């Protein structure tokens, strides 16, 4: 009975660790696909369809790297870079940027709870310098 409960606990923990990542992915995938499919968007700072297509591909590659455990840090960096530019553009245009900032934080948080070892300090001797 104890072995079965332990297996259920492991499955439940795994599901709970993946929920924030899945929510983040549910934001980024439609965003990237929209930039690929509807690349003739108007009212953007850069209205070039080539830039929109490249941005869509960048987002989708970032999502794929974000989902794979060994490349989670690269994927997180790509997604955070994209959303940081989005925050700056929102601030430039005078639009509310709070939601975009929260998405940046949620992306880093979901990466952290899946792989907390990546965010630990590697070299403690660098702390004193």
Q: In which band, very low, low, confident or very high, does the pLDDT at 40 lie, cut at 50, 70 and 90?
A: confident
Mean pLDDT of 39-45: 70
35 and 56 Cβ atoms separated by less than 8 Å: yes
- d(Cα 74, Cα 81) in Å, to the nearest integer? 10
Contact 97, 87 (CB under 8 A): yes
DSSP element (H, E) containing 20: helix 2-37
Summarize the confidence of residues 24-35 as an average pLDDT: 94
Supply the pLDDT for residue 4: 64
pLDDT class of 41 with cuts at 50, 70, 90: confident
- Identify the residue with better confidence: 121 or 61: 61
Compute the distance between CA of residue 41 and CA of residue 76 in angstroms, rounded to an integer: 26
3-state DSSP assignment of residue 121: coil
- Which pLDDT band holds residue 118 (cuts at 50, 70, 90)? confident
**Global model pTM greater than 0.85:** no
């Amino acid at each position: 009975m104890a072995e079965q409960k332990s297996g259920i606990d492991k499955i439940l923990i795994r599901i709970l660790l993946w929920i924030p990542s899945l929510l983040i992915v549910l934001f980024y995938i439609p965003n990237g696909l929209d930039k690929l499919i509807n690349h003739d968007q108007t009212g953007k700072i850069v209205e070039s369809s080539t830039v929109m297509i490249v941005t869509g591909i960048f987002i989708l590659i970032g999502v794929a790297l974000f989902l794979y455990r060994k490349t989670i840090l690269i994927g997180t960096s790509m997604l955070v870079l994209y959303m940081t530019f989005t925050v700056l553009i929102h601030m430039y245009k005078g639009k509310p940027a709070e939601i975009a900032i929260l998405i940046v934080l949620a992306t880093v948080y979901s990466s952290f709870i899946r792989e907390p070892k990546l965010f630990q300090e590697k070299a403690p001797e660098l702390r004193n310098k």
